[in-house]
Structure 1
Amino acid sequence: MPEVLVVLTNCPDDASAEALAALLIERRLAACVNVLAPCRSVYRWQDRIETATEVPLLIKTTPVRYVELEAAIRANHPYELPEIVAVPVMRGLPGYLDWVAAETAPQPDDEGAAPPLA
């Protein structure tokens, strides 16, 4: 059974969430990105309690692609310090996990990956 990760991040709005999801799929860094309904986040930032409406992303990938995925999120995320949390999938439908691994397998043309979004 291939190793699979679910990576969590939040974007400030639908447009940035959709753009990031498309980029990750285009570069084969993720097999699937779920763009969820907006949620309310409460957190401490620079000694102040903040609240924000955010759009959560659930990103399915593999450990082999994680370093590149994290770099792509950091390069294309509007936040100074984005949440990037990877959770290992302990069990899952074998066919689905195989599909995630196949969709995120490095391709021969990965050397010429597209530059970050503007």
Structure 2
Amino acid sequence: MTRTEKPDDVVLVYTTAASLVEAETIAEELMEHRLIACANILPGMRSLYRWKGQVERAEEVVMILKTVRSRLAEAQARFREAHSYDTPAFLVVDVPEGDEAYLAWLRVETA
């Protein structure tokens, strides 16, 4: 953690899942343990990526998970356990500002 980061800093996690069912299952697991406050699930994405030397194409589901920095390590560990991919995306984006009422709600839901 850098000097400017705080345990209650809000972050977004960008990730994908293989199916809508998998995305909802992962989101519900993380919410049940208060590791995220919210998950936006966006089905119907088409991905092209290089994997083991080959260009792959896949239908995927985008997930944007909303949490706080202090819950991130446990959220990532549970996420990896529940995910079907060998190397799932788990990209963390800082949220430097936002609507204070919304950020307060998010912090309460992940406490």
Same fold by TM-score greater than 0.5? yes
In structure 1, how many angstroms separate the alpha carbons of the residues matched to 2:48 and 2:10? 29
- TM-score where L is the length of structure 1: 0.86
Q: Alignment RMSD, CA only?
A: 1.2
Aligned partner of 2:81 in structure 1 is 75
Identity of aligned residues (%): 39
What TM-score do the two structures reach when normalised by structure 2?
0.91
Q: Match for 2:41 among 22, 31, 35?
A: 35
Q: Distance in 1 between matches of 2:43 and 2:20?
A: 9
Q: Following the alignment from structure 1 to structure 2, what is the Cα–Cα distance between the partners of residues 85 and 57?
A: 11
Q: Which has the higher strand share?
A: 2
Aligned length: 105
| 2:43 counterpart SS class | coil
**Deviation for aligned residue 1:69:** 0.5
Q: 1:59 aligns with which of 65, 69, 73?
A: 65
Q: Is the 8 A contact 1:11 1:54 kept in 2?
A: yes
In structure 1, stretches of 5+ residues that fail to align are 106-118
